[in-house]
Amino acid sequence: MVYTVINIFQIAGVLTGFLTLLSIAKKKASETQKVLLIACCCAFVSILAYTLEINARSLEAMVMAVKFGYVGKCYVLLFFLMFMAYYCNIDIPKLVFRSFLVFNTVMLLIIITCDRHKLYYKSIRLSYEGLFPHVELEKGVCYWMLMAVMLGLMAWYVILCLIEVKKRKGIEKKRLLLLSFSGLIPGYMLTVYLTGIMNILDPVPLGIVLSCMLLTLNVNKYGLLDTMELAREKIIENTKDGLVILDASYNLLYANDVARELFPDINQAESREKQIKEIFKENPREAVVDIEGRSYEIRVSRIEDDNNADTVRGYLAWIFDMTFVNHYTEEMIRLRQEAEKANLAKTSFLAHMSHEIRTPMNAIIGFSDLCLNNGDEGEIKEYVQSIRESAGTLMVLINEVLDISKIESGKIALTDVAYSMKELMKEVISAIIPQINAKHLTFRYLLEKDVPVMLKGDKKEIRHIMSNLLSNAVKYTAEGTILFKVKEIERKDRKTLLEIIVKDTGIGIKEENREQIFDRFERFDVKKNYAVEGTGLGLSIVKDLVQLMDGSIEVESVYGEGSLFRARIWQEVLDERKGEAYRGSNCDDIKYTLEQLKNAVYGNRGKRKRRSIRFPGAKVLVVDDNQVNLKVASGLLKLYGIDAELAESGEECLNAVKKQTYDIIFMDQMMPGMDGVETLSRLREIKKGNKSTPVIALTANALVGVKEEMLEEGFDDFLGKPMDLTELENVLIRFLKELQEEMPEAGREETGFAAETAGRYESLIRKGIDVQAGIELCGGEESYLEVLKAFVTNAPVQQRSLSQSLKLGDYRRYTVSAHALKSAAASIGALKLSEISRMHEEAGNKENIAYINEDFVNLIEEYGEIVKAIEMREA
């Protein structure tokens, strides 16, 4: 009967043990759970074995069950202790566990082989006495050793539990209390058994059954294996941040995969210590380190005891990848700055716009008032003109703002049409020329011959781009040159990449502003350019348009020296044929510039009143390297009854003065070889004759201060070339007073310019030569014809001299030749050629070789065309 009860109890115990196993196993396993599971397995094995033992009927079966039971018994306590240590975060050195593990395993081996020796059991026999047949075992030395260790472990476990029970509160306290009972009961049973009170029945398995029941209760009712623990472990394992945990003595307890990857030295025993020192060098610490282009923040903190903050249990380092956060923060700061900048730009734009609008509006209102209050028709016309101009300015402003809003809303679409780049350039140039001329700037343009004749694209918007760049160049340039050039860069699939270059010698753009000038509402040097009208929208529109044409725009600039804008656009090619190069300068804008030049070169000559005087018998020498100039001078002198002698160089002059004493000498200041100044000083050295002859400098340099310079050099006076008759007359009167004779009024010969005369010079006039001025300059038609002849005869020599000196790099000679051509051309009325020569002379003086090389063809072409026009007349 008792046996049956015991047996039923045993079987119930096996089931309980099994249930305990199930309830633990069904929870997701954390490290702690795994340990508990192993402990419970061991308990289960020992109960199962004891059940088998009491149900066995033979000695062998019983011994076998006993041995099987020890497989569980040897380890159960050890694993419970381990679980306890994990659960309560108690630091039990691994070595202690390992030693017990080894000891118990050795014991298990001894037990398994117990029938071969007497170490564990001195004797083993079957007994039929008592409640049921059982095996009688006489305990050997190892038995007592194992039992002592088991009791020790149990005591340790219970003590640890009780200590923790004391510390904790609430549900934790209850859990630990149950845990300590789970240890106490089997411990108590074992002690009873060892005392020998219960000889036949081993109560320990019963104790284990009870402890399993308590554990099941603990797990299910008090949530012993709370998922939080598991969650914590998962978080640590799966976090993208690195985690390193050290014990209080700086030994590595744990490092997750991220940390190991970031600090691979942790994985190597020899480098670990150094790496740990590096990470934990300050405590606490917040530091940023860069690893392979990413930035990480290391936060080191201490793990303190919950109950005693002074007790450090270890150290923890979190390593956060801050790359994204940093990048995100930087981006946010940048966006904020940009938003602030845009806001500022808009505010300044509004302020600017209101100023821009107010200026023309003020003018419109003011002039309207004047119109209303003034009855004079002429004045009213002027006022209305001003109103018209102001309205135009307003219109530009409104159009720009409209353009911007169209572009911003994506409403601008390109309308492609067939067009010729040459014609387009002509249109753009003729629109901008008045502004350029008004500022007395030099303007040169060039369409390279590679550009195809017919293109397809949005002509209107290209004109917009060109006009904008050009008008900026004019606005921001006070003096110098503006260059406008279009060339082909690349040709691909019937498309051409064109480059529009606008270069100026204006104020330039500071390096730090170069990027922003293409931004909306951006204007620079506003104080400096106060008088320059603008909205800061032009270049931003140009950039948008260029980008719509798959192109780009860039700027090169030297602050204070000038800027170069380079816009590139793709255009469709309609006619592959190359066009002719189209080049020129603002001297080509014939009507306007000729008028201007004429005034500059000839002054008010047309209105002069010449006195009818003659200087018969006067001995006059004219020295000039240029035949044309000589002819002009001799023609003019003839008007005063003077038959001048001519010398073509300084040497010729010196020879002449040795033979003859002159009343006056006119000497060109700039001559190749011996120039005017040198000739003069040599002349003065010659003792006899001409020592005191007045020498008048002739120069085509109309610069201020030249006269003073000439007088300082020892000349007696100075005359500009082409000679002004009034000035010439004054010089003659001043130096040849004694020879002067007054002519009767009737004999006075005024040079007129009848339609009939014009007819004789048709080819010249067609070429833009101001024949009337030329005739006047040369002192009459007869001498003009001679000068023309000399001009043509002299041309090959002159052209050769120019090209040779250029080839040889003799820029002094080149400058002298250009200088001579300047006055020779002016003398015949070829003002454009004169102006081109002037620019070459200027470039020569400044050694602007690039300009000379680039424009040389232009000079020679114009020279050739003039000669041709004269020859045509002669033929």
Q: Which is nearer to ligand ADP, 536 or 579 (CB)?
A: 536
523 binds ligand ADP (CB under 6 A): yes
**What's the min distance (Å) between Cβ of 537 and ligand ADP?**
6
553 binds ligand ADP (CB under 6 A): no
263 binds ligand ADP (CB under 6 A): no
Residues in the interface with ligand ADP (CB under 6 A) total 21
**What's the min distance (Å) between Cβ of 399 and ligand ADP?**
12
Stretch near ligand ADP under the rule CB under 6 A, chosen from 336-344, 403-411, 521-529, 667-675: 521-529
Return the SS3 of 28: coil
Q: Rounded CA gap, 383 and 367, in Å?
A: 5
User: Angle 76-77-80 (CA atoms, 0-180°, nearest 5)?
Assistant: 90
DSSP 723: P
Helix/strand/coil (H/E/C) assignment for every residue in 430-469:
HHHHHHHHHCCCEEEEEECCCCEEEEEECHHHHHHHHHHH
476 binds ligand ADP (CB under 6 A): yes
- Between helices 627-638 and 725-735, what is the axis angle to 10°? 70
CA 353 to chain centre: 29
Q: Which is nearer to ligand ADP, 524 or 753 (CB)?
A: 524
Q: 801 is written with which tokens?
A: 């001299």
724 binds ligand ADP (CB under 6 A): no
Q: How many CA atoms lie within 13 A of 399 on its CB side?
A: 10
From residue 829 to residue 848, the character string flagging contacts with ligand ADP as x (rule: CB under 6 A) and all else as - is --------------------
Picking from 860, 850, 845, the residue whose alpha carbon sits closest to that of residue 815 is 845
Stretch near ligand ADP under the rule CB under 6 A, chosen from 243-251, 281-289, 414-422, 469-477: 469-477
Picking from 428, 523, 524, 420, the residue whose alpha carbon sits closest to that of residue 484 is 428
Stretch near ligand ADP under the rule CB under 6 A, chosen from 145-153, 306-314, 407-415, 468-476: 468-476
**What's the min distance (Å) between Cβ of 507 and ligand ADP?**
5
356 binds ligand ADP (CB under 6 A): no
Stretch near ligand ADP under the rule CB under 6 A, chosen from 435-443, 507-515, 643-651, 714-722: 507-515
Stretch near ligand ADP under the rule CB under 6 A, chosen from 26-34, 146-154, 538-546, 609-617: 538-546
Q: Which is nearer to ligand ADP, 537 or 621 (CB)?
A: 537
536 binds ligand ADP (CB under 6 A): yes
505 binds ligand ADP (CB under 6 A): no
Q: Rounded CA gap, 371 and 562, in Å?
A: 43
525 binds ligand ADP (CB under 6 A): yes
206 binds ligand ADP (CB under 6 A): no
664 near 736, Cβ under 8 Å? yes
By CB under 6 A, name the one of 535, 794, 801, 834 that touches ligand ADP.
Answer: 535
352 binds ligand ADP (CB under 6 A): no
Q: Rounded CA gap, 379 and 845, in Å?
A: 47
Stretch near ligand ADP under the rule CB under 6 A, chosen from 48-56, 299-307, 531-539, 737-745: 531-539
Q: 615 is written with which tokens?
A: 């200087």
Q: Which is nearer to ligand ADP, 313 or 463 (CB)?
A: 463
Q: Rounded CA gap, 796 and 863, in Å?
A: 10
172 near 229, Cβ under 8 Å? no
By CB under 6 A, name the one of 30, 46, 104, 472 that touches ligand ADP.
Answer: 472
Stretch near ligand ADP under the rule CB under 6 A, chosen from 16-24, 353-361, 517-525, 570-578: 517-525
641 near 616, Cβ under 8 Å? yes
From residue 560 to residue 599, the character string flagging contacts with ligand ADP as x (rule: CB under 6 A) and all else as - is ---x------------------------------------
**What's the min distance (Å) between Cβ of 484 and ligand ADP?**
12
Q: Rounded CA gap, 287 and 319, in Å?
A: 10
664 near 671, Cβ under 8 Å? no
537 binds ligand ADP (CB under 6 A): yes
By CB under 6 A, name the one of 56, 107, 387, 473 that touches ligand ADP.
Answer: 473
DSSP secondary structure, 587-644, as one string: GGSHHHHHHHHHHHHHTTGGG-----EE-TT--EEEE-S-HHHHHHHHHHHHTTT---
Residue ranges that bind ligand ADP, judged by CB under 6 A: 472-473, 476, 504, 506-509, 517, 522-525, 534-540, 563
